[in-house]
Amino acid sequence: MERSITMLEEINLTGDPDEGKKFINWREALILPTDNIPEPIPILSIVQEGYHIPILNEDNISLLFGPAKARKSALVRSICQAIFNGSNDKMVSNYHRKKISIVDTEQSRHHCLRATKNIYQIAFQKHIVDYLSVTTYSKEDKKNLVESYLAESPDCGLMIIDNIVHFANDFNSATEAAELTQWLLKIKSTFNTHVLVVLHENPTPENAFNSKPRGHLGTNLMNLCETGLRIRKDPNDKTRSIISAALTRGRDFTDIVLTMDDQMIPYLDDLEDDYEETKTKPKSYH
């Protein structure tokens, strides 16, 4: 007796002849306790009290946020320095994919050139950072450019997008925030890279401790990121900034101080044990 075979067809939701719902095999998403899934490879770790605390790992997303002029760009340079050279004052990296891409959405091409030269100045190697200026591109063209670059650069293990808000028309739109974070999840997995996004924080008193990255976009990014780094100027010493672990999936690190010399070279150190942050209430203008 001949057995009949039932073919699985796409589910047509609209009634139109060529439009239907795509069938997805749910088993591809299933995780079993017998699966052998290796841990993500560390890209960068903080060194404190004899421990290496991973903060950036392959196939993940992290967030760097802070107020304007808090020295976020200097911290980006310090991250590049540690990965390129293997270490700096407080960070260490044994990562094998040494190319880094920085996608700049705000600065002029001249300022991007200056930033590139500053990174090369603190790195022992050359031609290992691709600095992309995308100020004039539309949000969709920015996304296409990023995907095109990563498809042609398999040795890029870290992409830094500064400032991610310019990949959206409205950073406070729940729909746009969801679409953008979904896109970030897609590219980090498709290209097995780490995406570090930079974002401003909500305006707050200068020395407020618990500030948040801006809008629905900032909330979404904090919910999905591996590490949330916050940087702010020291309210007691404007010549330095304080880096805090706003959110981590593993071990926290204690606050770190960032300073720069006259050549714009960043230096990192632990915050003093006896440091007490000054807490003030917002000024009233009524």
185 versus 284: the higher-pLDDT residue is: 185
Q: What is the reported pTM?
A: 0.83
Average pLDDT over residues 4-10: 44
Q: Is 185 exposed, middle or buried (0-12, 13-18, 19+ CB in 10 A)?
A: middle
Reported as a pLDDT band with limits 50, 70 and 90, residue 7 is very low
Report the alpha-carbon distance of residue 76 to residue 165 in Å, rounded: 17
Of 169, 159, 177, 186, the closest CA to residue 104 belongs to 159
Of 194, 141, 130, 189, the closest CA to residue 166 belongs to 141
Residue 208 is predicted with a pLDDT of 52
Residue 266 is predicted with a pLDDT of 92
What is the average pLDDT score of the chain?
Answer: 85
Three-state secondary structure call for residue 193:
coil
CA distances from 44 to 87, 134, 169, 212, 251 (A): 9, 26, 32, 24, 14
Residue 71 is predicted with a pLDDT of 93
Reported as a pLDDT band with limits 50, 70 and 90, residue 8 is very low
275 versus 233: the higher-pLDDT residue is: 233
Helices (H), 66-173: 72-85, 109-122, 139-152
Spatial contact of 199 and 218, defined as CB atoms under 8 Å apart:
yes
Q: Work out the number of other CB atoms within 10 angstroms of the CB of residue 151.
A: 11
Instruction: Give the pLDDT confidence of 66-123 residue by residue, as tens digits.
Output: 998 899 999 999 999 999 999 999 999 999 988 999 999 998 899 999 988 888 888 8
Identify the H or E element spanning 175: helix 174-190
Report the alpha-carbon distance of residue 162 to residue 68 in Å, rounded: 12
Three-state secondary structure call for residue 163:
coil
| Mean pLDDT lowest among 11-25, 59-73, 210-224 | 11-25
285 versus 4: the higher-pLDDT residue is: 4
Report the alpha-carbon distance of residue 272 to residue 140 in Å, rounded: 45
Spatial contact of 185 and 224, defined as CB atoms under 8 Å apart:
yes
Residue 206 is predicted with a pLDDT of 53
